[in-house]
Amino acid sequence: MLRLEPRREPSRAMQVLTPVFAVVLTILAGLVLFAILGKDPFRAIWLIFFEPLTQTYALAELTVKATPLILIGAGLAMGFRAGVWNIGAEGQFVAGALAGGSVALALHETAGLWIMPLMCIAGMLGGMAWAAIPAFLRTRFNANEILTSLMLVYVAILLLSALVHGPLRDPEGLNFPESRLFSESMILPILIEGTRAHVGFILALLAIAVAWLFMERHLLGFQIKVQGQAPLAARFAGYSEKRIVWMCLLTSGALAGLAGTTEAAGPVGQLVPALPIGYGFTAIIVAFLGRLHPFGILLGGLLMALTYIGGEAAQIAMSLPSATTRVFQGMLLFFLLAMDVLVGSRVRWIPRTVHG
Amino acid sequence: MRYQSFTRLTVAALAAAAFVAAPAAVQAKKMKVGFVYVGPIGDHGWSYQHHQGLLAVKKAFGDKVETTHVENVPEGPDAERVTRQLAQQGHDIIFTTSFGFMNPTIKVAKQFPKVKFEHCSGFKRAKNVATYNIRYYEGRYVNGVIAGRMTKSNTVGYIASFPIPEVVRGINAAYLGAKSVNPKVKFKIVWVSTWFDPGKEADAAKALADQGADVIFQHTDSPAAMKLAEQRGISAIGQASNMKAFGPKAQLAAAVNDWGPYYVARVKAAMDGTWKSTDTWGGIGAGMLTIASVHSRIPADVRKQAEKVRADIAGGKFHPFTGPLNKQDGKPFLKAGEKAGDGLLAGMNFYVQGIEGSLPK
């Protein structure tokens, strides 16, 4: 019979392999699902998971969709490792977009290479400011940051809506709730001519590299891990919990804010009330899909983006309902969590013994 | 209004031509028609009605057309990608059916000058981008008359989505309709900041019912408010689609968006090579908006009165926004006998006099 035996140490190989297993199982379950729906299962899987990888434009779109997921995921993972649960990245994303976007709108008649970096810095500060609220409440009053950060998401979304209905509204826009379009200097440069792949993706790659250096090569990264895995040990070692909470929330806020700015100054090109479409929440899945490791998050973000883009392609080509995408994302997380058992335990085949 | 009768004529004529000419026309290549929806087809409101329009196109042209639709597309960068994909895959005409798809549509249209685009409810046009919308306020005025006569508490509830001109115009029209037959009527308005969220919509309906509203209007897309009205034994007005199934007793009447004739006419024009970038704003008269399922429990004289208002609006004899009319703050909006032009209507961002509360800012 099959038996699970606990491992002495988590298996490194399994940590890398289980996400792969999860993807394979998702594809297999998808095949069954499509067969039951009466659609050609192999064509559907091809359209969702593989066809986007064969076209330049779709690959470029993959980076567009993955950029905010990777940026936010990289920041969140740091906090998650320390046991700081920032669930409100969506709000920090909006605050960042507002701050960066306001700079663009205030300077809309000026031009210059200095504007874009200024917008990015403003965006990061905006996200940090929004994340500072739960950090303060947690360190000062011991308020649960899961609740406070989540509640602030709705505040941020309403703030964005109020501002684009009021002071930031396009004066030539017939009262419709949208800002004016950003001018040339406020739009992120495009990487590949004819596509929408923008410089934000480079920033995301940079964030991944810095996050890796920080977490794996810096004392603070080590402190974060100790804080998460053994809070008591961290206290004995004299690490300040408050400092770690502040650092994690501010960093994840800054990255989410940057993501908001690159989204507004990238593919959107203006401030609109519909800017937040859940990247901050999807990035939580991405962070866990990537095992809270920067490189894993890079791959996880790209994979999650693939399910969106592939899901649209499948809708267009095969008239599959849009819920397909959600089902795939759900299955992916489900199988990943289920496979987690293999990291801490091994499966053994034990022959039945006859007891005498 | 001249503009309106022109629209009515063209839509009617094109639709008629389509039905007559379609069987005769021989097309070597199928016309590919794409639709982008903001909600799920199953919202039983906005996107559902656009999908009915797609089905009308299919029915009218049979195997001469190939239709594609993508549902639940968020407004923003995703809309641009989806629209571009449709264009890239050889769709000849693409309908993007939400306001937030405006800039994405314009961007894609620049890259695909040969593809025809139709954007619903926006104001930006290009050589290959036409715009179209329905004069929902006409239906709201008619239903306002019904609501004004039917309310016993003199309190009408209104679930509003976002304070954009279209929604504000709807509130004003419904209020003016109700007020014209019931000087005591009061409107209670709840802003829910969403187009589609059955939970929030039901909560809003509950709050309105608790405050004494016995007729509920909505400018959101799900039938949740209708269901709640049915449970609470009060009345409601169906929005976008006929919601009778969700409130067999509750629904007094529904204003139903009928995109079919327009879609058929535009696809036909694309087939014939007569398609041009136009700006269509059709109402009851153009057949794009119908007042459906006026409930049999409504007294005959009320039904008659509402029908007369409907017919007068359809025939261009009456305009819901006719002066003398003041803004909420008492400043004059329209002089006696003056009718609001389309420009004034398009940018309406104030309540008319008599409505309480302020627009969310």
Residue B80 has pLDDT above 80, yes or no: yes
Interface mutation vs chain B, best among A174, A277, A282, most B CBs within 10 Å: A174
Nearest neighbour of B85 by CB, restricted to A196, A273, A316: A316
In terms of domains, do B241 and B151 share one?
yes
Where in the sequence is the domain holding B65, given as residue range(s)?
A: 2-135+257-282
Name the more confident of B26 and A60.
Answer: A60
* Confidence tier at B10 by pLDDT (50, 70, 90): low
Q: What is the mean pLDDT of residues B21-25?
A: 46
Cβ-contact B173, B141 below 8 angstroms: yes
In terms of domains, do B78 and B27 share one?
yes
- A330-349 pLDDT tens trace: 898 889 888 888 887 888 87
Task: With respect to residue A280, please indicate whether it lies within any of the assigned structural domains.
Answer: yes
Task: With respect to residue B251, please indicate whether it lies within any of the assigned structural domains.
Answer: yes
Interface mutation vs chain B, best among A176, A180, A188, A309, most B CBs within 10 Å: A176
Nearest CA-CA distance, residue B259 and chain A, Å: 21
Where in the sequence is the domain holding A263, given as residue range(s)?
A: 68-287
Quick check: B74 and A166 CB within 8 A?
no
Task: With respect to residue A87, please indicate whether it lies within any of the assigned structural domains.
Answer: yes
Pairwise CA distance, residues B248 & B139, whole Å? 20
In terms of domains, do B190 and B303 share one?
yes
Give yes or no for A142 touching B (CB within 8 A). no
Nearest CA-CA distance, residue A230 and chain B, Å: 41
Task: With respect to residue B355, please indicate whether it lies within any of the assigned structural domains.
Answer: no
Quick check: B70 and A162 CB within 8 A?
no
Task: With respect to residue B354, please indicate whether it lies within any of the assigned structural domains.
Answer: no
Task: With respect to residue A319, please indicate whether it lies within any of the assigned structural domains.
Answer: no
Nearest CA-CA distance, residue B186 and chain A, Å: 26
pLDDT number for residue B148: 97
Kindly report the CATH number assigned to the domain that includes residue B51.
3.40.50.2300
Quick check: B85 and A322 CB within 8 A?
no
- A38-76 pLDDT tens trace: 889 999 899 888 988 998 889 999 999 999 999 999 999
Which residues are CB-contacts of A224 (< 8 A; sequence separation ≥ 6)? A78, A81, A82, A215, A244, A247, A248
- A163-184 pLDDT tens trace: 998 889 888 877 778 899 999 8
Which residues are CB-contacts of A83 (< 8 A; sequence separation ≥ 6)? A227, A228, A231
Nearest neighbour of A175 by CB, restricted to B70, B86, B164: B164
* Interface TM-score (ipTM) > 0.95: no
In terms of domains, do B127 and B201 share one?
no
Task: With respect to residue A346, please indicate whether it lies within any of the assigned structural domains.
Answer: no
- B195-233 pLDDT tens trace: 888 999 999 999 999 999 999 999 998 999 999 999 999
Q: Sheet containing B186-191: which strands, arranged edge to edge?
A: B186-191, B155-160, B215-218, B235-240, B251-257, B289-292
pLDDT number for residue B19: 47
Nearest neighbour of B361 by CB, restricted to A162, A274, A319: A162
Task: With respect to residue A124, please indicate whether it lies within any of the assigned structural domains.
Answer: yes
CA distances from A238 to A84, A227, B58 (A): 18, 11, 72
In terms of domains, do B107 and B244 share one?
no
In terms of domains, do B88 and B103 share one?
yes
**Phi, psi (deg, nearest 5) at residue B153:** -85, 0
Nearest neighbour of B162 by CB, restricted to A166, A177, A263: A177
Give me the sign of the Cα torsion angle B309, B310, B311, B316.
Answer: positive
Quick check: A322 and B72 CB within 8 A?
yes
Task: With respect to residue A191, please indicate whether it lies within any of the assigned structural domains.
Answer: yes
A&B contacts, CB < 8 Å: 87
Give yes or no for A315 touching B (CB within 8 A). yes
Nearest CA-CA distance, residue B78 and chain A, Å: 9
Cβ-contact A274, A196 below 8 angstroms: no
Give me the sign of the Cα torsion angle A67, A58, A180, A164.
Answer: negative
* Confidence tier at B193 by pLDDT (50, 70, 90): confident
pLDDT number for residue B8: 53
Nearest neighbour of A322 by CB, restricted to B40, B68, B85: B40
Q: What is the Cα B261 distance to its own chain's centre?
A: 14
Task: With respect to residue B218, please indicate whether it lies within any of the assigned structural domains.
Answer: yes
Give yes or no for A319 touching B (CB within 8 A). yes
Pairwise CA distance, residues B348 & B165, whole Å? 5
Pairwise CA distance, residues A164 & A144, whole Å? 31
CA angle A243, A157, B358 (to 5 degrees): 135
In terms of domains, do B149 and B9 share one?
no
Give yes or no for A269 touching B (CB within 8 A). yes
Name the more confident of A58 and B14.
Answer: A58
pLDDT number for residue B27: 46
Q: What is the mean pLDDT of residues B151-164?
A: 94
Q: B15: part of which helix (H) or strand (E)?
A: helix B2-21
Interface mutation vs chain B, best among A170, A315, A319, A325, most B CBs within 10 Å: A315
Nearest CA-CA distance, residue B111 and chain A, Å: 9
Q: Which residue of A has its CA nearest to B82?
A: A312
Cβ-contact A251, A73 below 8 angstroms: no
Residue B113 has pLDDT above 80, yes or no: yes
Task: Count structural domains, chain B.
Answer: 2
Quick check: B70 and A322 CB within 8 A?
yes
Cα radius of gyration (chain A): 22
Q: Which residues of A touch B72 (CB under 8 A)?
A: 322-323
Interface mutation vs chain B, best among A312, A318, A319, A327, most B CBs within 10 Å: A312
In terms of domains, do B98 and B143 share one?
no
In terms of domains, do B192 and B313 share one?
yes
Residue B21 has pLDDT above 60, yes or no: no
Quick check: B76 and A275 CB within 8 A?
yes
In terms of domains, do B110 and B229 share one?
no
Give yes or no for A154 touching B (CB within 8 A). no
On average, the pLDDT of chain B sits at 91
In terms of domains, do B197 and B314 share one?
yes
In terms of domains, do B14 and B90 share one?
yes
Q: Which residue of A has its CA nearest to B195?
A: A274
Nearest CA-CA distance, residue A259 and chain B, Å: 14
Task: With respect to residue B361, please indicate whether it lies within any of the assigned structural domains.
Answer: no
- B322-357 pLDDT tens trace: 999 999 999 999 999 999 999 899 889 899 999 999
Residue B5 has pLDDT above 60, yes or no: no
Quick check: A165 and B82 CB within 8 A?
no
Of B112, B65, B74, residue with least CA distance to B263: B65
pLDDT number for residue B2: 46
Residue B87 has pLDDT above 90, yes or no: yes
Q: Which residue of B has its CA nearest to A315?
A: B70
Nearest CA-CA distance, residue B181 and chain A, Å: 31
pLDDT number for residue B250: 97
Quick check: B77 and A263 CB within 8 A?
yes
pLDDT of chain A, 356 residues: tens digit per residue:
778 888 888 778 888 888 888 889 999 999 998 899 888 999 989 988 898 899 888 999 999 999 999 999 999 999 999 999 999 999 999 999 999 999 999 998 888 889 999 999 999 999 999 999 999 999 999 999 999 999 999 999 999 988 998 889 888 877 778 899 999 889 999 998 888 999 999 999 999 999 999 998 888 889 998 988 888 898 888 888 899 999 999 999 999 999 999 999 999 999 998 899 999 999 998 998 888 999 999 999 999 999 899 988 888 888 888 888 888 888 988 898 888 888 878 888 777 766 64
Cβ-contact B147, B181 below 8 angstroms: no
Of A152, A145, A30, residue with least CA distance to A96: A152
Express as a percent the part of chain B with pLDDT over 70. Answer: 92
Task: Count structural domains, chain A.
Answer: 1
pLDDT number for residue A82: 93
